[in-house]
Structure 1
Amino acid sequence: MFWAILLISGVLSYLLLIKLPKRQALLSRLTSIAGPPSLPLLGNALDFNVPKKDVIPVLKSFIDGYGTRVKMFLGLQPYILIANAADTEKILASQIHIEKSTDYDRLHDWLGLGLLTSRGQQWFHRRKQLTPAFHFKILDDFLRVFNEQCSVFKSVLERKTNENQAFDIFPVITHCALDIICETAMGRRVFAQQKSDSEYVKAIYRLSELVQYRQLKPWLHPDFIWRLSPAGRENEECLKTVHGFTDLVIRERKQERMEMKEGGETSKVKEDDSIFMSSKKKLAFLDLLIDAQQTDATLTDQNIREETDTFMFEGHDTTSAATSWTTFLLSLHPEYQAKVHQELDDIFGSDRDREVTMADLAKMKYLECCIKEGLRLFPSVPFIGRKILKDQVLDDGVILPQGVTVLCIIYFLHRDPTVFPNPEKFDPDRFKMDEEGGAKGRHPFAYVPFSAGPRNCIGQKFAMMEEKVLISTIFRNFKVHAAQKREDVDVLCELITRPQDGLHVTLEKR
C-alpha cells in the first residue's frame, strides 16, 4: 500500500510540477494564433468525429473562419494548420524541421523506419543510399515495365468499352499501378489486373484506411488500446499478410540471385505468381537494396523490407490517385481532352500499340499541364506533418514554438485564390510555363504536390513518367465521358486524396 501511494504521489507531482507548467508555457505562446474552441483532453477531436466525406468541410470551416494559419488540438497535442505559401516555405524548406510529426508514428507498424518515417541521420543516410535507385538510366529500364503492364491495362479497358456501361475507373487504374510497382519494386508479378481479389492487394488498401481511422480518434493513439480494439486486431492481420509477402519475396529474390550467380546468369522461370524478372534484363528496386547490403553491414533484411514496403505504399497509391483524378477531370472537359488527343496523335500518329519512349514522354507537354492541374485540385498527399524542433519565426513575426506540430494542408494551399484565380476551376493552361502569370510568376511553395525542400518526394520523376504512360494509354485509344458530375463526388482526404464512391466514366473507342 505504501509503495502504491508513493507511486501515485510521484506521478501526480510530475504532472502538476513539471508537465502542466510546461504545457501552460507552450499554450501561452500560441495565443497569437486563432483557432476554433476546443474541449479539455479531447481538443477538437469531436469536430472530426464526422463521416469521412465531411472532414474537408470541417477543415474548410476552420480556414474560412480563422485564416490560412489555424490553431487546433487533437487530444492534448497542439497543431498549427497552414495553407499559405510563405508559412509553407518556412517549414518545408527548413534544414531543421525535417522530422515528420508523430502522426506518422501510426505507420511504423507497417513501414517501420523507412525513408518516409525515419528521422535525423538515419533518414539522411537512407536518402543518400536510395537516390541512385531513381537515376535516369534505371527509370528508363522501368519504362519497359510501364509499357508491358499498360498493354494489359489497355485490354482491360477494351473489355469495359465492350460492356458499354459506366464503371469506376479508380480501381482499374489502381490495379495497373499495383502491377507496375510490384514489378519495379520487388521484381514480382502479382497480376493485380487479372486477380484483383489478391489478399495482398486487399491488405494494402485496408491498412491505409485503418491508419486514417486511428489518427482522428485520440483515444486509439496509445498502442496498447489500439491493439486491443477490433480495428487494431484487424490491422495486425493485414500487417501479417503484407509483411509475410514482402519477406517471402526478399528470401526468394536472394535465393534466385544466388542461383543465377552460381549458374552463370541462367535461371528457371516459374509459370505462377513467383515469376521474377531476369536481372540481366531488368533491375528491380529490391535488387538495388540487396546490392547495397553487400557494402553496408547496417542494412538488414528488415531495413530492406521497410524500404520496399514504403516504395510499394507510396509508389502505387499516389500515382493511381493522380492518374484517376486527371482522367476524370478530362472526362468532364472535352475541350481539354481534345487537346490531349491531338498532342498524342502528333506523337504517335494512328499507331495505338507502339510502346512509349523517353522521347515521347518529353513531348507530352500539354498532358503534363493536365496532370499538374489535376494534382493542384487533388494532390495525392493532402497533408504534410512536421514536428517543430526549434522556435520558428514566421514572416509576420509570429513564433511557432518548439514542440508544436505543423500540418501543411496542401489541399487548401493549392486553392489559395490569390495565387490561383477561380481555384475550383480545372484549367491546365495555368501551367503553361511560357505564359505570363504562369508558374514562373508563382511563389515556389504555392504548389507542392510532391512536397518540397530536403524531404521532397524522391520518386517524383518515376511518378510523372508512370502517370504519363498510363494516361496516354487511355487517351490514345479512347474518348472518356464522365458518368457523374464533379460536385457529386465526395472527396476523402486521408493518407491519399481519394473519392469516397469512385469516379464513374464510360469509354468510347477512338
Structure 2
Amino acid sequence: MGECSFGKGFGQTNPTKDIDFDFDKSTWERIPSAIINGMTKRYQFVYVKRFLRKLGYEVEFDWPKEMISAIKAVTEERETNREKTRPDLLQHLIDEGQNPVSGMKMNVRDVVDQMSEILLAGSETTSGTIACFFLEVMRNQSVKEKLLKSLPILGPEDPIISSKTVRNGTEYEYLEACVKETLRIHPIASELGRKTGAEPIELMGYLIPPHTVVSASYRELHHNPAHWPEPMRFWPERWLKNRPEGVPPPDLQAYYPFSAGKHSCIGINFAWAELRMVAANLLTRYEFCELPGQHIDWRQYITMQLEGGSWKVSLMPRYEI
C-alpha cells in the first residue's frame, strides 16, 4: 500500500530496501501503526462523543502529529516539484481530489485524511484475510495436501506470480477456490451500516424508527445453512467449476465479502490482486505448519481480529536448497 499510495514503502516487507526520505525515516516507518492507533481512538469514543455533544461539549480526535507531518511532507513535495509526480493514489488526489462537503479542490489536510483512510482500509483488511486463509489451510490437512499438490514448486529466483496468472491459470484454480471460501467464512469487514428513511419500517417483526442506523451482518449471511450447507466447514470445492458429486454450488446471492452494487468496496480489484499474489508466491515456495498449542479466539472491532494479535507458523522451503 505504501508503494501504490505514496511511491514509497514503509520498510515492513523489505527492510533492506533503500528509500529516499526528506524527513525522519523512523517517523515514516511508523505510519501504518500510527494509522491503526489513530483510527482506534476515533472509533472507541464514538458513543462518548455523541453523549458529550448533547451536553454541549465538542470533542475531536486527530491522527498522530508525526504521521500528519510525514504524509504532509510527501504531499507538499509533490505539489511543489512536478518532477516527483508518479501515477499513484496520492497524485490522483492532489490533481483531481475534491472535498465532498465543499466541492472545492482538496487541500493538504484533506489529502492527509483521505490517504490515512485508504491505507487503513487497504492494508489491515487484506492482511487479516490472508492470515485467515493460511489459518484455514493449515487446520484442514486434506485441503492443504490437495492445494500444495496442485501448485508448481518455485524457487526464490523464479519470477513473481501475477494476479492475472492465478486468475487464469488452471493450476491455480484450487488456490482461487480456497481464497473465495476464506472470504465466505471470514469476511473481515463483516457488517454494513445503513440508515432508515424518514418513515418507520417494520422488519422481521421489529419496528425500526426513522433515521436509525441498521447494521446488516455479512458474516451471519455467509454462515446461514439455508444458503451454505455445512456453513462452518472450509469447503473450497464449492467454488470449483467441476465440483465433485455431492458438493453444493455457491449461492452468490448470499455472498458479499466486498458488499455489492454502488456500495461495493472501491478497492476490490486491488485486494484480489494482493490476496492472489501473496498466497500463490508463498505456497509455491514454502510449506506452512502451524506451531502447536495455539488457541484461536476472535474479537470484533472495526474488523475481525485475533485475540492476542498473533498466530505463529513455521516455514519450510519446498524447493531444493
Aligned to 1:376: 184
Q: Does 1:300 align with 2:106?
A: yes
Aligned to 2:64: 239
Of 57, 70, 90, the residue aligned with 1:286 is: 90
Higher percent of residues as helix: 1
Shift of 1:503: 1.6
Mapping for residues 423-462 of structure 1, pairs under 5 Å? 423-435=231-243, 437-439=248-250, 442=251, 444=253, 446-462=254-270
Query: Following the alignment from structure 2 to structure 1, what is the Cα–Cα distance between the partners of residues 42 and 51?
Result: 13
Mapping for residues 34-433 of structure 1, pairs under 5 Å? 181-193=1-13, 194=15, 198-215=29-46, 218-222=47-51, 236=62, 238-256=63-81, 258=82, 260=83, 279=86, 283-292=87-96, 298-301=104-107, 302-345=109-152, 350-352=154-156, 353-362=158-167, 363=169, 364-391=172-199, 400-433=208-241
1:391–1:399 Cα contact (<8 Å) kept: no
2:223–2:231 Cα contact (<8 Å) kept: yes
Shift of 1:396: 6.4
Letter in 2 for 1:316: S
The alpha-carbon distance between structure 1 residues 308 and 202, as it changes in their structure 2 partners (threshold 3 A), is closer
Shift of 1:434: 5.0
Q: Which has the higher contact order (CA 8 A, sep 6+)?
A: 1
Shift of 1:389: 2.0
Q: Which segments of 5 or more consecutive residues in structure 1 lack a partner in the other structure?
A: 1-180, 261-266, 268-277
Query: Following the alignment from structure 1 to structure 2, what is the Cα–Cα distance between the partners of residues 485 and 392?
Result: 51
Percent identical among aligned pairs is 21
Letter in 1 for 2:213: T
Letter in 1 for 2:140: H
TM-score normalised over the length of structure 1: 0.52
Of 254, 257, 276, the residue aligned with 1:468 is: 276
Shift of 1:201: 2.6
Deviations, residues 422-457 of structure 1 (Å, cap 9, x unaligned): 222211122225547312xx251x211111232110
Deviations, residues 29-78 of structure 1 (Å, cap 9, x unaligned): xxxxxxxxxxxxxxxxxxxxxxxxxxxxxxxxxxxxxxxxxxxxxxxxxx
Shift of 1:391: 4.1
Query: Following the alignment from structure 1 to structure 2, what is the Cα–Cα distance between the partners of residues 285 and 379?
Result: 25
Deviations, residues 377-431 of structure 1 (Å, cap 9, x unaligned): 2211122111112447678687644222211122222111211222222111222
Letter in 2 for 1:468: R
Shift of 1:293: 5.1
Q: Which segments of 5 or more consecutive residues in structure 2 lack a partner in the other structure?
A: 17-25
The alpha-carbon distance between structure 1 residues 478 and 494, as it changes in their structure 2 partners (threshold 3 A), is same
The alpha-carbon distance between structure 1 residues 455 and 476, as it changes in their structure 2 partners (threshold 3 A), is same
Letter in 1 for 2:36: Y
Query: Following the alignment from structure 2 to structure 1, what is the Cα–Cα distance between the partners of residues 214 and 292?
Result: 36
Query: Following the alignment from structure 2 to structure 1, what is the Cα–Cα distance between the partners of residues 119 and 304?
Result: 17
Letter in 1 for 2:6: M
2:36–2:120 Cα contact (<8 Å) kept: no
The alpha-carbon distance between structure 1 residues 393 and 432, as it changes in their structure 2 partners (threshold 3 A), is farther
Query: Following the alignment from structure 2 to structure 1, what is the Cα–Cα distance between the partners of residues 293 and 264?
Result: 33
1:376–1:414 Cα contact (<8 Å) kept: yes
Secondary structure of 2:216 counterpart: strand
Aligned to 2:21: none
Query: Following the alignment from structure 2 to structure 1, what is the Cα–Cα distance between the partners of residues 93 and 237?
Result: 40
2:150–2:174 Cα contact (<8 Å) kept: yes
Shift of 1:480: 0.8
Secondary structure of 1:471 counterpart: helix
The alpha-carbon distance between structure 1 residues 422 and 321, as it changes in their structure 2 partners (threshold 3 A), is same
2:163–2:276 Cα contact (<8 Å) kept: no
Query: Following the alignment from structure 1 to structure 2, what is the Cα–Cα distance between the partners of residues 342 and 394?
Result: 52
Kindly tell me the number of residue pairs found equivalent between the two proteins. Answer: 294
Aligned to 1:138: none
Shift of 1:326: 0.3
Deviations, residues 113-134 of structure 1 (Å, cap 9, x unaligned): xxxxxxxxxxxxxxxxxxxxxx
